[in-house]
């Protein structure tokens, strides 16, 4: 067991430069998502919006929320939330999106 | 103030609660507990996003037309305000970790001010919707009559989702006030900064919800016929 006094002071301080970089990226992505929304890309408008939003959410979780520097247990909990959200979305959509198919008449 | 706890080597560690071996373990437990709470929040908001996805899929024209009624400029400014508040929150955590008490208070206040600006802009938007009769109910009016029924669904979801988000902002504002008090009275130190850290986790989570709400509610009807 690594029960040393050093553990009382060992914590990861994320450099401020990383916070500023993430902030810049988030602002850039916001402008990008607005720009893309005004172009007609058909179904890709929604896909682009969701991809950009998910990228933004991911960098917030990894850097602002320090998950990149966290324990594996924290990673498991965070990925668990995504997994269960995935179940919620997939099973619901498997019903609603397929109702119009009328395969069996 | 509780009695000062000593670690296993007999060193006094003021920020340590007696049931933890060391500060590292204490911090990990705190962070993990907060994340477990945030998982429930992800699924809480997730349910609403699924409802939105189902109805948008069923009534795409009405949703696009109703979305077009929202103010992209105000929504966009609010997105920038919230992202900036996440930056000041992250900097507050950084200041807490490095033991800069005054900076912690400054950044907490900055975060609260930005949160207040967000809620102010949000209430201006709500007011516009009220004047335009876009509040779902008997007084609801919509220019394209044939879409009105389903446009109401969009606005119901708009008010439910942004309202729930705004409620989280108000709670976050209260938490920041609480943390400001704790920092002021000296509870927060570079050893015991977990309260600031997990308040930050909450604040960033609320930011993430908005990161999805903005494009899904404000931007979906911007191109094409409308």
Query: Do residue A78 and residue A61 come from a single domain?
Result: no
Q: How far is Cα B56 from Cα A81, in angstroms, rounded to an integer?
A: 24
Residue B107 located in a structural domain: yes
Query: Do residue A64 and residue A76 come from a single domain?
Result: no
Residue A96 has pLDDT above 60, yes or no: yes
Q: How far is Cα B53 from Cα B176, in angstroms, rounded to an integer?
A: 33
Residue B225 located in a structural domain: no
Residue B113 located in a structural domain: yes
* B79 reaches A (C-beta below 8 A): yes
Residue B160 makes CB contacts below 8 A (sequence gap 6+) with B48
Q: Are residues B112 and B173 in contact, defined by beta-carbon separation less than 8 angstroms?
A: yes
Q: How large is the average pLDDT for residues A96-100?
A: 83
Query: Do residue A35 and residue A48 come from a single domain?
Result: yes
Residue A4 has pLDDT above 60, yes or no: no
Output the domain CATH number for residue B183.
1.20.120.80
Residue A3: pLDDT band (50, 70, 90) is: very low
Residue A6 located in a structural domain: no
* B100 reaches A (C-beta below 8 A): no
CB neighbour class for B133 (10 Å; exposed up to 12, middle 13-18, buried from 19) = exposed
- Please tell me whether residue B5 adopts helix, strand or coil conformation: strand
Structure confidence at residue A88 (pLDDT) = 96
Query: Do residue A56 and residue A76 come from a single domain?
Result: no
Smallest Cβ–Cβ distance between B215 and the set A16, A37, A96 belongs to A37
Smallest Cβ–Cβ distance between A77 and the set B35, B207, B212 belongs to B35
As given in the structure block, the two tokens for residue A19 are 């916070």
Q: Are residues B107 and B89 in contact, defined by beta-carbon separation less than 8 angstroms?
A: yes
Among A36-45, A80-89, B75-84, the minimum mean pLDDT is found in: A36-45
The whole-model pTM stands at: 0.91
Residue A64 has pLDDT above 50, yes or no: yes
* B74 reaches A (C-beta below 8 A): no
Residue B19 located in a structural domain: no
Residue A82 located in a structural domain: yes
Chain A and chain B share a number of CB contacts under 8 A equal to: 160
Q: How far is Cα B173 from Cα B41, in angstroms, rounded to an integer?
A: 17
Query: Do residue A75 and residue A46 come from a single domain?
Result: no
CB contact under 8 A, A81 and B89: no
Query: Do residue A63 and residue A19 come from a single domain?
Result: yes
The count of domains in chain B is: 1
Find the residue in A nearest to B67 (Cα): A37
B72-97 vs B101-131: helix axis angle to the nearest 10? 160
Least Cα separation, residue B220 to chain A (angstroms): 7
Q: Are residues B198 and A39 in contact, defined by beta-carbon separation less than 8 angstroms?
A: no
CB contact under 8 A, A53 and B9: no
* A52 reaches B (C-beta below 8 A): yes
pLDDT, one tens digit per residue, over B93-145 is 999 999 999 999 999 999 999 999 999 999 999 999 999 999 999 889 998 88
Residue A102 has pLDDT above 60, yes or no: yes
What residue numbers bound the domain in which A74 lies? 70-100
The count of domains in chain A is: 2
Find the residue in B nearest to A15 (Cα): B94
Report residues of chain B scoring pLDDT below 70. 1-3, 224-226
Question: B interface mutation test: which of A18, A37, A91 has the most B CBs within 10 A?
Answer: A37
Structure confidence at residue A1 (pLDDT) = 39
């Amino acid at each position: 067991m690594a029960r040393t006094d050093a553990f009382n002071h060992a914590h990861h301080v994320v450099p401020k430069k990383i916070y500023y970089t993430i902030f810049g990226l988030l602002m850039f992505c916001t402008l990008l998502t607005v720009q893309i929304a005004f172009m007609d890309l058909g179904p890709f408008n929604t896909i682009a919006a969701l991809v950009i939003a998910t990228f933004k959410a991911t960098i917030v979780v990894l850097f602002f929320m320090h998950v990149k520097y966290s324990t594996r247990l924290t990673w498991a909990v965070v990925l668990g939330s995504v997994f269960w959200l995935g179940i919620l979305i997939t099973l619901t959509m498997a019903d609603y999106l397929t109702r119009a198919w009328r395969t069996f008449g | 103030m509780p009695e000062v706890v000593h670690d296993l080597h007999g060193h006094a560690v003021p920020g340590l609660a007696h049931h933890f071996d060391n500060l590292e373990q204490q911090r990990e437990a705190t962070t993990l507990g907060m994340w477990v709470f945030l998982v429930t929040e992800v699924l809480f908001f997730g349910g609403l996003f699924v409802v939105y996805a189902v109805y948008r899929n069923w009534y795409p024209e009405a949703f696009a037309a109703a979305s077009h009624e929202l103010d992209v400029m105000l929504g966009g400014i609010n997105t920038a305000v919230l992202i900036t508040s996440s930056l000041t929150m992250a900097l507050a955590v950084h200041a807490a970790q490095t033991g800069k008490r005054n900076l912690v208070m400054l950044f907490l206040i900055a975060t609260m001010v930005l949160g207040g600006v967000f809620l102010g802009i949000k209430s201006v938007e709500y007011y516009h919707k009220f004047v335009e009769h876009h509040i779902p109910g008997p007084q609801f009016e919509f220019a394209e009559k044939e879409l009105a029924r389903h446009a109401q669904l969009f606005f119901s979801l708009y008010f439910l989702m942004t309202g729930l988000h705004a409620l989280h902002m108000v709670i976050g504002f209260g938490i920041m006030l609480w943390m400001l008090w704790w920092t002021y009275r000296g509870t927060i130190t570079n050893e015991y900064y977990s309260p600031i850290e997990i308040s930050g986790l909450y604040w960033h989570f609320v930011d993430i919800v908005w990161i999805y709400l903005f494009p899904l509610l404000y931007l979906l009807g911007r191109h094409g016929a409308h």
